[in-house]
A and B are shown apart, each in its own frame.
Chain A
Amino acid sequence: MNTSNKPAPVQIYEIYIKAKPEKIWEAITKPEWTERYGYQGPAEYELRPGGKYKASASKAMMTMGIQGTLIDGEVIEAKPPNKLVQTYRMLFSDQNREEGFSRVTWEIEATQSGFSRLTVTHEVEGKPIMAAMVSSKFSETGTGGWSWILSDLKTLLETGQAMG
């Protein structure tokens, strides 16, 4: 067991969103949606086992000189609109690249009165930089990471506008 201050090798993020699972699935897998919340980079998925995944720099990042593919990976399982399992590697820096592929599982389940539960399970064992980035431990203001992305996704789907 890890008793140090290191972030956990498995991180779980859960959020309730007032939207149908189909809508949440689209918001995760379609570039026209991923451009509207979180880091706003267009994501492209080939939704079949072995299919490619990549997320590119957003328009705002491009104006700052950041270009190209920032995250890549492979689809392991795609069961729309309820389950997506993929690998996930960050390409922001050489250290990110060296840490290699982690595994992300998205689970979407309809709950009650129009809400769905979205759970993101990120297996980050042996990837301390990625673990710290996705749990926003590097950020003084606490922005960035899955909590921030999911909160913004919720705002977008429930109000039609991201927090910005």
Chain B
Amino acid sequence: MSESDDKVFKALADPTRRSLLDRLFKHDSLTLTELESKLEMTRFGVMKHLRILEDARLVITRRSGRTKLHFLNPVPIRLIHDRWIDKYTERRVSALTDLKAQLENAG
């Protein structure tokens, strides 16, 4: 699902949205009021960012009585990691191992 990868990358490419994710990672589920309390931004602006995060499925909302709670869903980031990061870091590690073996054999 590369379309959903695009949405995750775009959602992460903004400091305000990353700070919203960091706060959801640290705390319990948060309400809109709690999320906007630390930001120098209008409620409308925060809602716009939250919509982008929800659209990328990085934020999930649930109703609890009359309040709407926001939760972090870390799975899309895990998928990006497994698809993109692991691939290149593993190659790098094996490249270093290969180099070490070559140097040792040469000596």
Contacts and interface: CB of A to CB of B under 8 A. Distances in A.
Interface of A: 1-3, 5, 8-16, 18, 115, 135, 142, 146-148, 150-151, 154-155, 163
Interface of B: 1, 4, 26-29, 34, 57, 60, 62, 71, 73-75, 77-79, 81-82
Contacts of B73: 12-14
Contacts of A9: 28
Contacts of B79: 15, 151, 154
A3 B31 CA distance: 13
Nearest to A148: B78
B28 A14 contact: no
Contacts, number: 52
A151 B74 contact: no
A21 B75 CA distance: 19
A153 to B, nearest CB: 11
A69 to B, nearest CB: 27
A5 B71 CA distance: 15
Nearest to B62: A12
Contacts of B26: 5
Given A12-B62, A142-B81, A163-B82, A147 B74 contact: yes
Contacts of B27: 1-3, 8
Residue of A5, A13, A135 with highest tally of chain B CB at under 10 A: A13
